[in-house]
Chains A and B, each alone.
Chain A
Amino acid sequence: MAPLLEVDHLRVRFKTKSAVKALIEKDDDPYIDGVMGVSFAIEPGQTYGLVGESGSGKTTVARAIMGLLPVHSGAIRFHGENLVGLSRDRIKPFRRDIALMFQDPAGSLSPRLKIRSILAEPFRIHDMMPENLSVEVARLLKMVNLSPSMGDLYPHQLSGGQARRVGVARALALSPKLIIADEPTAGLDVSVQGEILNLMAQLQNDMGLSFLIITHNLAVVRHVSDHVAIMYLGRFLEQGPTQTVFHRMRHPYTQALLSAHASPDPDAVHHRISISGEIPGLVSRPRGCEFHTRCPGVQEKCRRQFPDKAGAGKDHRYFCHYPLSVPEN
């Protein structure tokens, strides 16, 4: 099957100074790299998980796909059509097919509008007003298991879980094919996280939606996504089918992340693969393999050159000079 979304060597760079300043300071390259050439594809009806710590560039990928950031090079193909370089007017129809769900449940809802008006926004923007708006709003609220009377409330009157549901409802308004969910469970209590993830799974079943889930929570990704990519400083260090990446990981960073998410058991002997330090800033991107400053198995070669892509079976890719041996199951 042809992929719904195909991201091919996507590279996003941020300008660090104005053109004039760069000219004065004779800086030919006044940029830093946000995303360093990532490639992945999402099949219809599937969920792709993008995992990384803060500063890894996962939100940048999402915003680039939505056309909210200029793309330096690479392609973003939706149904085979490249979105990179399209004008505002040409890209607008695609915004109906790709919806974005935001990190902050309440903060992504316009605070002075009632829920009813917030849900009507997508229709207004795309001039697709349904004949009976209140019926449509009630239908959307019902889809996310909220009562239609919620339409009369303001965002600050909702609980975190309810606000998140409204976010889902808004994303669903124009019947998109792909929903990009940025940290769908962040800021929610454990008992509510499940509700949102179940809702997303149910919608996927009913409507054949595809999801791109961006999160730092590996436990969430393990349950909901078919494929997963582990991101670090703008690169996918490892990517592949979720089961493979979780059980036959080859990259030390994946292993460290996974061990940081061990199940809560006071008696568990933690074979924690401790990695020291923190993710470096984009400005001070390390040479060679970006992860070498924190890698427990770092060797001389890692400091000098970035490893080539290596594959291990179908769809499983990683970048490491000295990959882990596959654990025996």
Chain B
Amino acid sequence: MNWTKQFLFRLYHEPMGFFGMILVTLVILSALFAPFLTTHDHNALDIANRLAGPSAEHWMGTDQLGRDVFSRVVMGSRIAVWVALVTVSMSLGIGLVLGMMAGYGPKWLDAGLLLLFDTLRSFPTIMFALALVTVFGPSLQTVIIVIVATTFPVYGRMVRTQTQALGNQEFIVAEEAMGAGMGRILGIHILPNIIGPLFIVASMDIPVVVTIEAGLSFLGVGVRPPTPSWGSILNDGYAYIRNTPWIIIFGGLPLIVTTLGFTFLGESLRDIFDPKLRRDL
């Protein structure tokens, strides 16, 4: 209790973090309550009103099919947040398990897992995505697979290094001397010591994932139309950028807000939790 209070107090005194927190809350609220926030059906066509500018009726104007951009942006936040949370938690989970195994397990396992991490990390994301799309076709799942496969090795490597450093410490040797098994040592003694910094990295990874998803959808290898994704909104507006720039502007705005929000929040979290920067507590 006290701890949460202290955390909020600290966050309040990190103006950037506080600002980031507000932006992140906005994005998450909009994703949660999207159906109640939209003013129109996000897929309803209104050919008569196509490419209309912002007005009281359409706050962010309409696109080339006359769909309400505001409603599409709001619904798009669902995709963005969902993809971000799913991929980051999957990467984190896979990275944790494999990284701890590599860091604490036998040498051959470490060598094998490292090879896997480095191989996957060397895949160029876009090429990898295009290759998968030719095999499985464009879909949200493809996006998730691509992002998870290219980001979990980063977590894996990080976890491995931290596990190795902890594995040599006396409290781990003490557990081994008492006869504790690998599961117990990893789960109870190593995990709590490495999870904190990992969450901070994850929160800073969310904006990266959001932009990758938008990028893939923009290229047409991600979310299938007519599902609104921020990337596909940008793609829709791209052709009309000269005459009706608001589609691009309003489609890009949420991307910037999300990216900034999570980055500010992540950096403040790091400042708050990094024991080297922390003065007391």
> Chain B residues in contact with chain A, CB under 8 A?
169-171, 173-181, 184, 188-189, 192-193
Contact = CB atoms under 8 A, between A and B. Distances in A.
Contact of A103 (B170, B175, B176, B181): B170
A100 B171 contact: no
A125 B180 contact: yes
A68 B173 contact: yes
Interface stretch (A109-117, A218-226, A274-282, A319-327): A109-117
25 contacts: A68-B177, A91-B179, A92-B179, A95-B178, A95-B179, A100-B177, A100-B178, A103-B170, A104-B170, A107-B170, A107-B171, A108-B173, A108-B174, A110-B175, A111-B171, A112-B193, A113-B189, A113-B192, A122-B178, A125-B178, A125-B180, A125-B181, A125-B184, A126-B178, A170-B174
B193 to A, nearest CB: 6
A121 interface: yes
A92 B177 CA distance: 9
B170 A66 contact: no
A108 B177 CA distance: 11
A134 B192 CA distance: 23
A236 interface: no
A102 interface: yes
B170 A102 contact: yes
Nearest to A122: B178
A208 B178 CA distance: 21
Interface string A42-68: 000000000000000000000100101
A170 B180 CA distance: 14
B99 to A, nearest CB: 18
B174 A102 contact: yes
Given A63-B173, A111-B193, 16 more contacts: A68-B177, A96-B179, A100-B178, A104-B170, A108-B171, A108-B174, A109-B174, A110-B188, A112-B193, A113-B188, A121-B180, A122-B178, A125-B175, A125-B180, A126-B178, A126-B179
Contacts of B178: 95, 99-100, 121-122, 125-126
Contacts of B170: 102-104, 107-108
A13 B184 CA distance: 29
Contacts of A122: 178
A109 B179 contact: no
A254 to B, nearest CB: 29
A121 B175 CA distance: 8
A111 B194 CA distance: 12
Contacts of A110: 171, 175, 188-189
